[in-house]
Amino acid sequence: MTRRPENIVVVGAGLAGLRSAETLRARGFDGRLTLVGDETHLPYERPALSKELLAGKRSPEQLALRQPEFFREQQIELLLGRRVEKVSPKHRTALLSDGRELLWDALVIATGARARRMRGVETPPGVHYLRTLSDALALRSELVRGKRLAVVGAGFIGAEVASTAVALGLDVSVVEPLAAPLERVLGTEIGMLLAERYRAQGVDLRLGTGVTDFACGPDGRLRALELSDGSEIVCDVAVVGIGAEPAGELLGAPAIETDASGRTEHEGIYACGDVASSWRPSLGRHLRMEHWTSAAGQAAAVARTILGEESVHDDVPFFWSDQFGLRLQYVGFASEWASIDVEDDGDTFSVRYLGEDERLLAALVANRPGELAGLRRELAASAVVSHTTSRDERELEAV
């Protein structure tokens, strides 16, 4: 029988790190519990950064997931503004950026992801990346009515920032090298449906075009984006939203592979949240999901597993995005599909992503929240059938 840990260190003070720590306490862990975060802010609600916070509708204080008294009451030692520089699985230590060394019986890595940077170009003043609360506050100070904003990348972050900026009265351009916004996730047809919406809201959308460089004025500040077609977009401020990269360097790889309960290949070390590529039994593959519900679910499963309550996170994936008057909600997972069914009435629409056998793989609804429960049930039932079929096929191959 595995000895119950007495000293647990959680690296990363985002949603996953916080949820793992609070679940440990809620499940009765009464040993030493340390939560380490490299930002100076209390754990906060990250999805609001590109929306309510950027629009000035919520303050940084309103984004806090827990207040200081929570950590005191729960006896969670909160170490903010510190990085874990090195982890030793052999000696069970974690070295902090301030020189302090922490001992652990169990270690949870919830370091999340960082904004992917544009490579090969200098980043002048006026160009922003958006991942942290500090990033959002710096960008918010520049989003002034009448200014010209250029957004690099028409993914979820780019679209949400563009939507917020339009509502604030900025002149917005979006540059995307693919044929449609969100093409890799939603497909070209649905991406073009969204593109029509963006343009109807006044966005200058440049598709199939990349950014080659940033042009600066005499003061060294951003003046324009130089594009791959030889043109340029004159702008006062720019946001680069070209994805995120998992921060798994503590274990020597960008993404950290885990089993369905969050265990890594190192005894006593677990991972959850955006940094984890976790095994999904229902999908028969490892999957890294950069979304709120996955981070929370994985973290809770890790905490229970550490305490000997074997727990698997394999819920139907779900995420949402608010942009240009649409509440987009996506359930399931489909990296590829055989066909789609679209029902569109202008202000709302729904999309079903189907496999070769007409089985539902994923679905997207826009301003149709009432359809989600039924879609979740259908996907859950479909996953059970698919998992059973795959298992039977493997057994037949073994014979």
Q: Which two tokens stand for residue 12?
A: 């990363």
Amino acid 241 reads: G
Q: Which two tokens stand for residue 138?
A: 């710096």
- pLDDT of res. 328: 97
Examine the domain organization and report whether 72 and 145 are in the same domain. Answer: no
Per-residue model confidence as pLDDT tens digits over 77-99: 999 999 999 999 999 999 999 99
Tell me if 397 is assigned to some domain.
Answer: no
Q: Which residue has the tokens 């922003």?
A: 128
* CA atoms 273, 285, 244, 361: torsion sign: negative
- pLDDT(389) > 90: no
Query: Average pLDDT for residues 180-192, to the nearest whole number?
Result: 97
- pLDDT of res. 280: 95
Examine the domain organization and report whether 201 and 287 are in the same domain. Answer: no
Per-residue model confidence as pLDDT tens digits over 322-350: 999 999 999 999 999 999 999 998 889 99
Q: Which of 22, 26, 24 is nearest to 5 (CA)?
A: 24
Examine the domain organization and report whether 109 and 249 are in the same domain. Answer: yes
- pLDDT of res. 399: 30
Tell me if 319 is assigned to some domain.
Answer: no
Per-residue model confidence as pLDDT tens digits over 115-153: 999 999 999 999 999 999 999 999 999 999 999 999 999
Tell me if 313 is assigned to some domain.
Answer: no
Helices marked H in the chain:
15-26, 68-73, 133-140, 156-167, 183-186, 188-200, 292-306, 372-398
Examine the domain organization and report whether 18 and 103 are in the same domain. Answer: yes
Q: What is the CATH number of the domain that holds 333?
A: 3.30.390.30
Query: Average pLDDT for residues 17-40, to the nearest whole number?
Result: 98
Q: Which two tokens stand for residue 351?
A: 């999309």
Examine the domain organization and report whether 129 and 223 are in the same domain. Answer: yes
Rounded Cα distance between 232 and 259, Å, is 47
Tell me if 1 is assigned to some domain.
Answer: no
Instruction: Note down the domain range covering 129.
Output: 117-242
Q: Point out the domain boundary residue: 227, 242, 257.
A: 242
β-strand partners of 128: 239
Give the DSSP letter of residue 390: H
Rounded Cα distance between 235 and 9, Å, is 45
Binning pLDDT at 50, 70 and 90, where does residue 387 land? very low
Considering its fold, how many domains does the chain have in total?
A: 3
What's the mean pLDDT when you consider all of the chain?
94
Per-residue model confidence as pLDDT tens digits over 213-250: 999 999 999 999 999 999 999 999 999 999 999 999 99
Is pTM beyond 0.85 here? yes
Binning pLDDT at 50, 70 and 90, where does residue 388 land? very low
Torsions phi, psi for 256 (to 5 deg): -105, 115
Examine the domain organization and report whether 102 and 23 are in the same domain. Answer: yes
Examine the domain organization and report whether 122 and 237 are in the same domain. Answer: yes
Examine the domain organization and report whether 141 and 219 are in the same domain. Answer: yes
Q: Which two tokens stand for residue 105?
A: 């019986």
Q: Which of 178, 184, 204, 182 is nearest to 193 (CA)?
A: 182
Burial class (CB in 10 A: 0-12, 13-18, 19+), 387: middle
Rounded Cα distance between 283 and 184, Å, is 19
Examine the domain organization and report whether 290 and 341 are in the same domain. Answer: no
Tell me if 378 is assigned to some domain.
Answer: yes
Is the Cβ–Cβ distance between 60 and 41 less than 8 Å?
yes
- pLDDT of res. 2: 59
Is the Cβ–Cβ distance between 211 and 224 less than 8 Å?
no
Q: Which two tokens stand for residue 169?
A: 């009265």
Rounded Cα distance between 368 and 398, Å, is 45
Tell me if 31 is assigned to some domain.
Answer: yes
Percent of the chain with pLDDT over 90: 92
C-alpha gyration radius of the chain:
22
Examine the domain organization and report whether 210 and 138 are in the same domain. Answer: yes
Tell me if 298 is assigned to some domain.
Answer: yes
Rounded Cα distance between 71 and 42, Å, is 10
- pLDDT of res. 385: 47
- pLDDT of res. 384: 52
Q: What is the CATH number of the domain that holds 75?
A: 3.50.50.60
Tell me if 278 is assigned to some domain.
Answer: yes
Q: Point out the domain boundary residue: 203, 219, 242.
A: 242
Q: Point out the domain boundary residue: 192, 227, 242.
A: 242
- pLDDT(7) > 80: yes
Examine the domain organization and report whether 347 and 367 are in the same domain. Answer: yes
Q: Select the more confidently predicted residue: 351 or 383.
A: 351
Is the Cβ–Cβ distance between 251 and 87 less than 8 Å?
yes
Rounded Cα distance between 273 and 200, Å, is 36
Examine the domain organization and report whether 237 and 346 are in the same domain. Answer: no
